[in-house]
Structure 1
Amino acid sequence: MTDPDWLRLNRENWDDRVAVHVGSEFYDLPGFRAGRSALRPFEPDEVGDVTGKRLLHLQCHLGLDTLSWARLGAAVTGLDFSPAAVDAARTLAGEVGLDAARFVVADVHDAREALGEDLFDVVYTGFGALVWLPDVYRWARVVASLLAEGGFLYLAEFHPVSQVLGEDGRSLAYDYFQSAGETWDEPHTYTDGPALTRTKSVQWQHSLGDIVTAITRAGLRLEFLRERGTTLFQANEALVRVGPDDYRFPPGHPSLPMMFSLRASKS
């Protein structure tokens, strides 16, 4: 049964992660301050030129992806439910001279109310965001309400198929169609750094079918859906490194989709 306090637990957990993530090698804030982009190379290629476009980043965390889009010319707004994360994002924006970037504290489900009448040319959601949402259909309706006519959603995520594998990368450990929230109690976050003090979180598994159906039912038109055989870190023991942030199954091992990206427009 899903913990009824899931939203509080998740917010506290992510508030606690901020101090760890700010100091982690994983997020590499010194490198970002020096000019490193936090975006994956295929993302700007698939989104296209964002110069002068209003871009909203939902669940923006520390704002590295948000500010990377700002460096490419977008007028950015980042939204996150963690006040600590938004404070960190605002500080970082000032440090890198992107003071025009706006960051808002709000749960993603309340984004429409938090942003007033504002509409956006691009709504962007990055890796590891959807597992924190209990209802992707509700999320998709919120996204559609935030888009201007002719605008589009761009979503880049870990493929749900990759989430069912065990640590060995060869066995099935989780149910692909698991829809109930699962409570986790983990002392460490996914980065390097010290242990957390608020260790409980609740996450949901969403099938690719549910994600795409939610988006189209919200009135958005799917332009493309691309599946990739690589991922950003060594998610299981069978993966091998083939690039700075690229891991895949070795030759001779059956290949599975590890990430996907999609673009869906409002017309």
Structure 2
Amino acid sequence: MTTTGERAGGGLGGPAGNWREDNRALWDERVPLHTESAFYDVAGFKAGRNDLRGFEADEVGDVTGKRLLHLQCHIGTDTLSWARRGAEVTGLDFSGPAVEAARALAGEVGEERARFVEADVYDAPAALRGETFDIVYTGFGALCWLPDLTQWARTAAQLVAPGGFLYLAEFHPVAMCLGEDGSAFTEDYFARGPFAYEEPGSYAALTAATRHNRSVEWQHPLSDVVSAVTAAGLRLEFLHEHDFTLFEYLDGMVRARDTSGSRGGESTVYRLPEGRPRIPMVYSLRASK
């Protein structure tokens, strides 16, 4: 996951530098911060909490006995949440420490239907030796780390088994372009990047002292996402927009329980207060093969 920050040295066509190495170093360093953070609350997860949002469970449907691949899985809490719902899960991430943490967590909660693979998302077909899956899942804060959505979509489509589908739940690019008061755009919606950031700490540990602070990210307008997915040969079933998010990044946001979907979820979400115009903060799509 990521949150917006001050854009530095980026802009359309800005230098990406060694973006993959910089991003991997950043995420590697933040793994222990996240496993110990209140944000991830690993102790609560071990006690049985499910980290999926209510709408995700409804939109994906029954996963019992299904083979599910989670791309860019980080420390595996969402991956293992799908396993708790009955899926046979594979999590994939380019951070070695994240994969190690996910494997350890799977062992601690006794989840035998889970495995974790260290690989870059673009290398997933080779790393998984041609396996395909009933469901390919990508969760929040993943796409901003990828420069080439066309290649990502082709990769995802290659991993979807015939009759299966890709499911994506992601932060909405409109909301990510708003200023802190939420009243106006302060970022160019169509500026795709790369954007270089120098930010210590983490969204899960704001005041932590960190050494690897340079990250490189991209912004993907919603039209780019949909176009890439359909061009990869997947059939779009739906595109939904939601009026809440996972971070308190706009002034006046109200913390609330996740009431999305038929049963809601166990995660905390943030909404704009009553009386303020609602905006799309999160979107989800499903596309079948």
TM-score with structure 1 length normalisation? 0.97
Question: Secondary structure, in 3 states, of the residue corresponding to 1:49?
Answer: coil
Deviates more, 1:166-175 or 1:150-159: 166-175
- 1:91 to partner: Cα distance: 0.3
1:174 paired to 2:174:
no
Structure 1 CA distance, aligned partners of 2:179 and 2:120?
Answer: 31
**Shift in Å, 1:239:** 2.2
1:167 is displaced (CA, Å) by 1.5
Deviation at 1:220, TM superposition (A): 0.3
Q: How far is the alpha carbon of 1:253 from its aligned partner?
A: 1.9
Matched, 1:67 2:90: no
Alpha-carbon shift at residue 84 of structure 1 (Å) = 0.3
- SS of equivalent to 2:240: strand
Q: What letter is aligned with 1:247?
A: Y
List per-residue Cα deviations over 1:31-72 (Å, max 9, x = no partner).
000000111111111101101111000000000000110111
Measure the CA separation in 1 of the matches of 2:252 and 2:122: 37
Mapped pair 1:249 → 2:266: no
For 2:164, give the aligned amino acid: G
Q: Give the aligned CA root-mean-square deviation in angstroms.
A: 1.1
Higher RCO (C-alpha 8 Å, min separation 6): 2
Deviation at 1:111, TM superposition (A): 0.5
User: Which has the larger displacement, 178-187 or 77-86?
Assistant: 178-187
Aligned residue runs from structure 1 range 35-184, under 5 A: 35-184=48-197
Match of 1:216 in 2: 230
1:2-13 alignment, distance < 5 Å? 2-13=15-26
Q: Report the equivalent of 2:203.
A: 190
Q: Distance in 2 between matches of 1:100 and 1:83?
A: 20
Contact 1:120/1:151 (<8 A) preserved: yes
Please, what TM-score do these two structures have when normalized by structure 2? Answer: 0.90
Tell whether the 8 Å contact from 2:87 to 2:113 is kept in structure 1 after alignment: no
Are the equivalent residues in 2 in contact too, given 1:121–1:148 (CA < 8 A)? yes
The amino acid that maps onto 1:260 is Y
Q: C-alpha deviations, 1:71-122, integer Å up to 9, x for none?
A: 1111100000000000000000000001341100000010011101211000
Contact 1:189/1:195 (CA < 8 Å) preserved in 2?
A: no
Listed as ranges, the gaps of 5+ residues in structure 2 are 1-13, 259-267
- Runs of 4 or more off by more than 6 Å in structure 1? none
Sequence identity percentage = 59
Q: Could you tell me which amino acid in structure 2 is paired with residue 265 of structure 1?
A: S
What SS class does the counterpart of residue 168 from structure 1 fall into? Answer: coil
Amino acid paired to 2:223: G
For residues 178 and 98 of structure 1, the distance between their equivalents in structure 2, rounded to whole angstroms, comes to 42
Count of aligned positions: 266
